[in-house]
Copies of this chain bind each other. A is one copy, B any other.
Amino acid sequence: MSRAGPGRRPGDPEVTKQTILHAARGRFAAVGFERATIRSIASEAGVDPALVHHHFGSKQSLFAAAHELPIDPGAMVSAVASVPVGARGEAIARAYLAVFGAGETSPAVSLIRAAATNEAAARMLREFIADVFLAKAGELTDQDQPRLRLALIGSHMIGIAFGRVIIGVKDLTDAEIETLVAALAPAFQRYLTEPNLFG
């Protein structure tokens, strides 16, 4: 995905930055945060490593920049909040499964890989989830403990990504999106709106 508008030419700094971000997402998703090097990302983008450092600084900064673009859980929560409350479980399931349509090269997969083995990445994801995603939980439900409710949904979504894309459990990878939506939507809906969820 390039944000370079019409009229942008190769050599334009904005085109270069988008090329680097695209390469970074690919490398991080393929080998994880630890093993993706600035050098390999630069090589994939066809630029000098110094140019990557110039535009993005550290690998950590590049990682953050590369993942800000396509996933915006905050915007997703606001979009879900705009549908009737009884349809929000399905809306979340659809929005989430769309993110994983890209499979191995999904930015979300890269985030999960990195968080599993790198404390800096885990902290980034932890803070991101708490500050961007769970902070908006009150927009989705009027029930008690909205953050824990949304955290349960989030944990299930991360687990689906883990099983389907990272571990590659065949039963999950072979399942159609509509099959998964049918199973997940009512589970998410219950987490959002069941008054006695926690006993």
Contact = CB atoms under 8 A, between A and B. Distances in A.
Interface of A: 31-32, 34-35, 112-113, 115-117, 122, 125-126, 129-130, 134, 147-148, 151-152, 154-160, 162-164, 166-172, 175, 178-179, 182-184, 186-187, 190-191, 197-199
A186 B190 contact: yes
Nearest to A116: B116
B182 A130 contact: no
Given A178-B199, A182-B198, A163 B170 contact: no
B160 A172 contact: no
Contacts of A112: 116, 162
Given A115-B166, A199-B182, A151 B122 contact: no
A190 B170 CA distance: 21
Given A126-B167, A186-B190, 5 more contacts: A116-B162, A130-B170, A130-B171, A154-B159, A154-B163
Contact of A167 (B129, B148, B197): B129
24 contacts: A31-B117, A113-B116, A113-B117, A115-B116, A115-B162, A115-B166, A115-B167, A116-B166, A122-B166, A122-B167, A125-B167, A126-B168, A126-B170, A147-B171, A148-B175, A151-B169, A151-B172, A152-B183, A157-B159, A158-B159, A162-B162, A187-B187, A187-B190, A187-B191
Q: Which of A113, A163, A170 has the most CB of B within 10 A?
A: A163
A128 B198 CA distance: 32
Contacts of A199: 178-179, 182
B169 A162 contact: no
A198 B159 CA distance: 19
B167 A163 contact: no
Contacts of A162: 112, 115-116, 155, 158-159, 162
